[in-house]
Amino acid sequence: MMYGLSQGKTMEELRRLVPDVVQTIIHGVKRVIGFGATRIVVPGTFPKGCGPASLTQFMTNDSSSYDEYHCLKDLNNLAIFYNDHLQQAIDEMKKEYTNITLVYSNYYNAYMWFLQNAVTLGFDKNSLQKACCGIGGDYNYDKSRKCGSPGVPVCDDPSTHFNWDGLHLTQAAYSWLTRWLIDDMLPKLNCHV
């Protein structure tokens, strides 16, 4: 999705691509089932309008473009649209493959839960949408001077930052998201320990 936007595609063009993308994923899931898998997790996508790279690339002075978490609403609505289509396709597959456990992994809700609770979890409220390893702009991200480039600094304590390099989360953030996802998915996987 983000690649399409950076290539000049409109939101409407990307929305029209979603069913084909979802069908490609479903085809891949069916192949995995054909190999003998009986428990499959199919991940959704994160809220694309919340990360430093997206916030930098699609920054606007129109305050109505942002939600209460300062995420870009149009990008997040596209992610929700995609996730809804994916969930519907998974639900249809469940009817066809009644002996297979198919679980949707709700990355979107996990991410939003984290944004809502990050400060109480010990994260710096002033850096939730800034890259720890980066330089420049409101979000500490410059695509021409990425993390690892000469002269690009790293924050003092990555464990208090949500985002690592503008595109990826920190280890501490992924740890919390993983806990949320496991708590959400494990009961649905029908694993008997």
Domain ranges for the chain: 2-189
- The rounded distance, in Å, linking the Cα atoms of 144 and 164 is 16
**Residue 192 — very low, low, confident or very high, per pLDDT cuts 50/70/90?**
low
* Single-letter amino acid code for the residue at 182: I
What CATH number does domain 2-189 carry, 1.10.3720.10, 3.40.50.2300, 3.40.50.620, 3.40.50.1110?
3.40.50.1110
Query: The whole model's pTM is what?
Result: 0.92
- The rounded distance, in Å, linking the Cα atoms of 107 and 126 is 23
pLDDT tens-digit series, residues 134-164: 999 999 999 999 999 999 999 999 999 999 9
CA atoms within 13 A on the CB side of 101: 12
